[in-house]
Every structure is written in C-alpha cells, then in structure tokens.
Amino acid sequence: MGDRYIITLVCPGCGVIDDDVYYAPTCGFVKWQCSECGHVVDLEEYTGISAAGTSNADEIKALLDGFGIE
C-alpha cells in the first residue's frame, strides 16, 4: 500500500489535457494512455514520484509488529 494521486497531465503527443489521471505506483497504476492519440506516458517518469518513495509497507509492518501480528 502507498500513496495515490489524481494528477493533471498534458499529453506530450498531442497536447490534450486530462485532469483526472489516477496514479498509484504501489498498486500498479503507473501508465496513462491518451484517449486522443494513444500516446503512453510513464507516470513515474512524468511526476518524479516513485513507488519506493510512496510505499508505507514499513509503517504498516511496524504497526502490526506492535500488535504481535505477523
């Protein structure tokens, strides 16, 4: 689990603006395809936000460890 984002993206292929792009890198939502021209954008590259930087797995594990849950 990790952070999720709704971002505005300008297609580098045709310039169309999509203001409802869902980006959730730890859940596999990492690419966007333009509905107008079909151009595919790598959202990690576009945003600079990586899955490693948004993961909260360590915090969840620490919380579960505190309750004695493995």
Q: Where residue 62 falls among pLDDT bands split at 50, 70, 90?
A: confident
Beta carbons of 43 and 22 less than 8 angstroms apart: no
Domain count, the chain: 1
Looking at residue 27, its pLDDT comes to 86
Q: Strand 40-42 to strand 17-23: parallel, antiparallel, or no bridges (unpaired)?
A: unpaired
Q: Which residue has the higher pLDDT, 14 or 50?
A: 14
Q: Radius of gyration (Cα) for the chain, nearest Å?
A: 16
| DSSP characters over 24-38 | BGGGTB-EEE-TTT-
According to DSSP, the residues that pair with 5 across neighbouring strands are 23
For 23, the domain range is: 5-66
- HSE (CB half, 13 Å, CA atoms) of 23? 25
